[in-house]
Structure 1
């Protein structure tokens, strides 16, 4: 069931959808996300401008479980839906959006103890613009945040020895097979990294975690997604990733297609994340 649902989302999202050069595809995916979110609640649109261009972050808020008496800070889960020109962006980042949409469905049916906010970010590929604009708004509203989680490429798996590369010196610490999902967080998320990683492993997917100091500036590759503006603003944030170009040879290419993905791996990641988020 879950695997089929994820595949259905992927077939809708994986298409040319650069905001400028494939604006039709970009609008189609935007509307698909909005309609999917709208099944579970009212969808808020956060509009921001890049020059004269109106761009949109799509937001769904899900309440905490009714048994929850105290007001707890929210958990924010995000994934970017834009892609670079000339690629269907199946791994980058149709996989992240597909899992985001399934988590919306799952948590709408069975809420967790924290209020949840699910955000589909625009313009990530142009310099994390959607998340940067959103963090500014979020800080102005002085909202409390339990954790931000960025879903960034979740579906490429390669068990061949030597298939995984790293920025130095991480290759001496982590495995050389690209068959795991990575969790990268700032120091404040250390306990969450360990806990969520454990849940993903229990779902049958290998998982590795890495806490980084100094907002990740020491290893710039750890900053390449929508969690980075949250780090910079002082919030606890984690990126969930298959490590992108350090594993996937189709990164930012026309060959980033659904056929190259491991849907069992993706399904296990989604199941592990659901369990891990419930345990927070």
Structure 2
């Protein structure tokens, strides 16, 4: 499972370059097979499996010692009566509640569209997040304490209204509801309660994991839209020089913002690992808020960079980076993104 190799970048970054152990691929594979290999949609016929996945995440957060809670919210455009739930786990650092705390968030959505089993999208992201939690706990038990607090969130209702993969996808159709409600209803009250006036200073950044398992060393397995060649000439040249192999993780961030510090730290951690076989390709975007881009043509090009929960953090100008295998631009997922064949066969 190549996700485990890419996770070393995340571990090295989050754990401040202490010795990082190999990822427990057995744990991740078992999590995916048992809880993230079938449809997790809000329609009634899928709710039993989705509920089991949510409860598993909650139980794992608790088992690994996180302060754990549900964030319950309603989305009126989906249902006037049904509640939805994201799962939140907090690993308090020694700086918790102080102005010098630098909070890092790690998030991954656990729901799916109803047409898919959702193994890569996004069982892989949730399993990766849980492995980070497991390693964090293991390090704490061995006396390695973090100074800074970490917040882990498994978002519900990310896929509601998602139109990606269609030719006429527009941002208003992509609701990303769970992270939107998390930011509006949970995060600020929690910060004010625990940090008071220090709130603006304590958010260091957020990492979103969404479709991170697909690794393909076949030539021409990676597709790149023509418009990207002009927008990201260095990245395009790098992928081209490798015969368009899908053997890299995409690092997506906004260049004019504090995302750049988060991205630079992540890249530095990756270089320190000394594993050049597993590449990171940077895709720096030249905007602050997607909603403020005046050109509809530019928005249509950039919509592919807004397809996960980082987009809601960007809209309120919180630093965030998105790590992804590029989803429907690579290998089997070109046909299987949001389709039945995103199943255990893609592992």
The alignment's TM-score, normalised by the length of structure 2, stands at: 0.70
Aligned position for 1:197: 267
Of 72, 77, 97, the residue aligned with 1:47 is 72
Matches within 5 A, 1:240-259: 240-247=323-330, 248-249=333-334, 250-259=336-345
- Aligned in 2, Cα 1:68/1:23: closer, same or farther, shift over 3 Å? closer
Aligned position for 1:154: 212
Matches within 5 A, 1:110-189: 110=139, 111-126=145-160, 127-137=175-185, 138-140=187-189, 141-142=191-192, 143=199, 144-171=202-229, 172=233, 173-174=235-236, 175=239, 176-187=244-255, 188-189=258-259
> Which of the two has higher C-alpha Rg?
2
Check conservation: 2:67, 2:91, Cα contact below 8 A: no
Deviations 1:11-31 (A, max 9, x none): 122211112141111101011
Q: Between Structure 1 and Structure 2, how many residues are aligned?
A: 261
Structure 2: distance between partners of 1:183 and 1:30: 27
Structure 2: distance between partners of 1:108 and 1:207: 27
- Aligned in 2, Cα 1:195/1:71: closer, same or farther, shift over 3 Å? closer
Structure 2: distance between partners of 1:45 and 1:67: 20
Of 303, 319, 328, the residue aligned with 1:220 is 303
- For the aligned residue pairs, the C-alpha RMSD in angstroms reads 2.2
Of 96, 100, 106, the residue aligned with 2:135 is 106
Check conservation: 1:163, 1:178, Cα contact below 8 A: yes
SS of equivalent residue, structure 2 residue 56: helix
Check conservation: 1:148, 1:236, Cα contact below 8 A: yes
Aligned position for 2:104: 75
Aligned position for 1:7: 29
SS of equivalent residue, structure 1 residue 22: helix
Structure 1: runs of 5 or more not aligned:
262-280
Of 16, 19, 31, the residue aligned with 2:39 is 16
Of 17, 29, 47, the residue aligned with 2:53 is 29
- Aligned in 2, Cα 1:41/1:67: closer, same or farther, shift over 3 Å? closer
Aligned position for 2:116: 87
The alignment's TM-score, normalised by the length of structure 1, stands at: 0.86
Aligned position for 2:164: none
Check conservation: 1:47, 1:55, Cα contact below 8 A: yes
Structure 2: distance between partners of 1:209 and 1:23: 37
